[in-house]
Amino acid sequence: MSQNPVSSGTPADAALRVDAKVVVAEGVVALTLRHPTGRRLPDWAPGAHIDLVLPNGLTRQYSLCGDRWDAHSYRVGVLREPSGRGGSAYVHDELAVGDLVGVGGPRNNFPLVPSQKYLFVAGGIGITPLLPMIRQAELIGADWRLVYGGRTRTSMAFREELAAYGDRVVFLPRDERGLPDLPAYLAEATDAKVYVCGPGALLAAVEKCCADWAVGRLRTERFVPKDRGAPLRNEPFEVELARSGLAVTVNPGATVLDAVQAAGVNVLSSCRGGTCGTCETTVLAGAPDHRDSVLDDDERSAGDCMLICVSRSCSDRLVLDL
Amino acid sequence: MFAPAPTLPVSDADPFALDVLQDPLQFQAALRDAGPVVYLRRYDVFALSRYEQVHAALTDWQSFQSAAGVGLSNFRYETPWRPPSILLEADPPHHDAPRAVLSKILGPRALQKLRASWVLDADVLVDQLLSNTTEFDAVTALTAAFPLRVFPDAVGIPDAGRENLLPYGDHAFNAFGPANSLVEKGAPRVAELSGWVNEQCAREVLTGDGFGAQIWAAADRGDITHEQAPLVVRSLLTAGVDTTVNGLAAVLYAFARYPEQWARLRENRTLARTAFDEAVRWESPVQTFFRTATRDTEIGGTVIPDGKKILMFLGAANRDPRRWENPDVFDLGRNPSGHVGYGMGIHQCVGQHVARLESEALLTALASRVESLEIAGPVRRHLNNTLRSWESVPVRVQLS
């Protein structure tokens, strides 16, 4: 057995290198990630997030907030969460430029839909998915506004980037301006699609104002600091191929697809990046660790299928219908 | 006029000449061997025919855009023959929402609902055919008949006028090439056919439960606009018929040419999936697409100037010996994964799972009844500027 080339539970293939780590506000760092060989990263659109599989075994999800026209780097903003299980603390205190981190996705549960008018509402670190949306709204010449609330001015990330947009952006540090007058901003936003990301209290307040709105006009993403429960595996796992009667071991450096193919079972695949859906495989037993961009949350939690070009296993053994 | 660097191979050949379209393999091999990039003087475009460069160009939407047209016509300077597709002929950000909506509707999990009825439809079609004859034209009897039987129903368009689908698609795919005799041949019916296709995209014409209705429902949810909905339906009707007809013809022709592969499929029916993709690699029903450089961009050692067209030979890439072992052989033992027959990247064929399901249904129905098949007469190509297509593939089958 070859030695595990990366100390995380992800295949070496999906590991990105921390290229830059910059403090962008009080308690917020921005990470720039690149592939160690400098190759293209999977495509994404505003609202997408990636899974960051940290060297300490924790997995956290972060919205991509960089430039999708640069296909070679991802940027995420990470807030230190004192109440978390240590994912963000690890990023802040331990993770260094040059480290490798595993990455899953990107996936998008918060896509930007077409409109000539947008209202963006951000609470704190909820600004991250909205940054690339704003860039695109600007690009297509849409009429847009951003209402950006935060604890204090210095705690609000990416202020300088946003200041360039002039009076389209309203900064509302709570210690200076109090809570935003949401009903007023929302009432002004006639015909706009409204995108809100931030803590639960902000979302609840907005939803209360928009209860009678047409379906799909209000789009929200709850920013919940949530460490994923499943422990990530550093160890190899077994994959049993029910139809072929074979069993293979998947080492941390290889994908399930590679391992299955090495055993002589041909599985059709195409993108090898978890985006096209071609290698979707039925899972008969075991708990897949999903890393793809195709399945939605319900499909993931059903656990009855997986994209074997990128996804792995939480359990010691997976049984696949192959 | 662009002056190619002395090191850049130049060709005066016409990839859209009728004799080349009739049998493009030799031309494509010469193009591949000439270099990673070849300047085609006749059209002032840069040809890519090796797998590595075709794959790179397909995935790099930032450098090689689609919104200036994926045919020879450059929308920066020329007016398109129809309102551009909001999928095929669009770039991010405009491309995102229609693509996301259609990916979901045509995704493998959504298609599970259609599987049983398509398998049944294929069984019925094959039973009817084989109860009458064991010698037939595979194109008219099966590969055109089956998609036309299941796909328009799945979209939800009415029965009347479905005979317009193939001629419309044929013209749309011709129109990606130069204005040659193939385009001229289609021109007289363009207005009529476009008019009919556009009418089928309206909400009130579509059934309540098909792909078309689901596209309109996405517009009601605001995921796309109501102006975009009919254009997304139009994409299904343009790109979803001729391509699968030719893909199915490719796979049946391949099996008729390689009888030992048919025996292999009969032994192991799960190869039906691989078989279709191997046929798509081998025959490449969609042969070519263009892109336009968004800035001066280096590829294969050549700088493509901003605004110039590149012509990607998907068919040549799929038979590039630098990537594939014995590329000219149709072989079910091969893993065809990674072929560029559906394209690659953000514009990769959104209907690929539909095509695979159609093929799986048809091949499975045939495999349980047909012991062997062979070519029974002269085969005839149907020429198209973009598609590798069949007019007629006469076959004789032996029933099991």
Each domain of chain A, given as residue ranges in start order, spans 15-107, 117-221, 237-320
Average pLDDT of the segment spanning A49-76: 91
Q: How far is CA A264 from CA A241, A246, A261, B44, B102, in A?
A: 11, 10, 5, 46, 34
For residue A208, pLDDT beyond 60 = yes
Q: How far, rounded to the nearest angstrom, does the alpha carbon of residue B152 sit from its chain's CA centroid? A: 17
Q: How far is CA A70 from CA A73, A210, B96, in A?
A: 6, 36, 17
How far apart are the CA of B28 and the nearest CA of chain A, in angstroms? 23
Contact present, B314 and B288 (Cβ < 8 Å): yes
The hierarchical CATH code for the domain A237-320 is 3.10.20.30
Chain B residue whose CA is closest to A69: B62
CA nearest to B223 within chain A: A113
Q: Which residues of A touch B (CB under 8 A)?
A: 40, 43, 45-46, 68-71, 108, 111-115, 136, 139-140, 193, 214-217, 243, 261, 266-272, 276-280, 294, 299, 305
Q: Are A272 and B338 within 8 A, CB to CB?
A: yes
Which residue in the block uniquely carries the two structure tokens 């210095």?
Answer: A154
Quick: pLDDT tens for B57-92.
999 999 999 999 999 999 999 999 999 999 999 999
How many residues in chain A? 322
Instruction: Please list, in sequence order, all residues whose beta carbon lies within 8 angstroms of the beta carbon of residue A224, skipping any fewer than 6 positions away.
Output: A200
Note the ipTM here.
0.92
Residue of B51, B60, B62, B295 to mutate when probing chain A, most A C-beta within 10 A: B62
The 3-state secondary structure of B251-298, one letter per residue: HHHHHHHCHHHHHHHHHCCCHHHHHHHHHHHHHCCECEEEEEECCCEE
Condensed to tens digits (0 to 9), the pLDDT of residues A235-246 reads: 899 999 998 899
Q: Which residues of chain B are under the pLDDT cut of 70?
A: 1-2
**How far does B221 lie from chain A, in Å, by closest CA?**
5
Let me know: does A227 contact A86? Beta carbons within 8 Å.
Answer: yes
- Rg of chain A, C-alpha, whole Å: 21
* Facing residue for A113 by CB, picked from B107, B222, B345: B222
d(CA B130, CA A128): 61
Please report the pLDDT score of residue A5 as a whole number: 32
Confidence category of residue A298, pLDDT binned at 50, 70, 90: confident
CB contact under 8 A, B220 and A216: yes
Interface contact flag, A113 B223, Cβ < 8 Å = yes
For residue B399, count other CB atoms closer than 10 A to its CB: 10
- Which residues of chain B are within 8 Å of residue A47 when distances are taken between CB atoms? none
CA–centroid distance for A94 within its chain:
21
Average pLDDT over residues A56-84: 91
Q: What percent of chain A has pLDDT over 70?
A: 93
CA end-to-end distance (rounded Å), chain A: 24
pLDDT of residue A224: 57
List CB contacts (< 8 A) between B348 and chain A: 270-271, 276
The pLDDT tens digits for A246-279 are: 999 999 888 999 999 899 888 888 888 888 888 9
User: pLDDT per residue over A134-157, tens digit each?
Assistant: 999 999 999 999 999 999 999 999
CATH architecture of A117-221: 3-Layer(aba) Sandwich (3.40)
Architecture of domain A15-107: Beta Barrel (2.40)
DSSP codes, A78-96: EE--TTSSSHHHHHHHT--
What integer pLDDT is reported at residue A232 of this predicted model? 62
Count Cβ atoms below 10 Å from residue A157 Cβ, excluding itself: 28
Which two three-digit tokens encode residue A293?
A: 């961009």
Q: Do B270 and A43 touch (CB under 8 A)?
A: no
pTM (predicted TM-score)? 0.91
